[in-house]
Amino acid sequence: MNKRGNGDNPWRAAGLVGVMGIDVAVCMYLGYFIADRLAGTRGWLVFGLIVGLAVGILTCVMLLKRIMEDADG
């Protein structure tokens, strides 16, 4: 018989993609907000957005690693 694993659920995959998008957006907003409160100049705002994007991508990578480990075990 063809037994489906836990990682084969399309709703779980759709939810994961949605969470990743929200995570990156929230991290970018927080980077923008913090840079705006600290400095308020255009250069710092761009820096805050870039740092927020990097943190968002890093958290998505960590989330994917955890999901892939759970799917293997």
| pLDDT digit string, tens, across residues 21-62 | 999 999 999 999 999 898 878 888 999 999 999 999 999 999
Higher pLDDT, 6 or 43: 43
Tokens of 64: 């994917």
Measured in residues, the chain has a length of: 73
- pTM, rounded to two decimals: 0.79
Give the three-class secondary structure for 2: coil
Contact yes or no for 40/72 (Cβ under 8 A) = no
How far apart (Å, rounded) are the C-alpha atoms in residues 56 and 65? Answer: 14
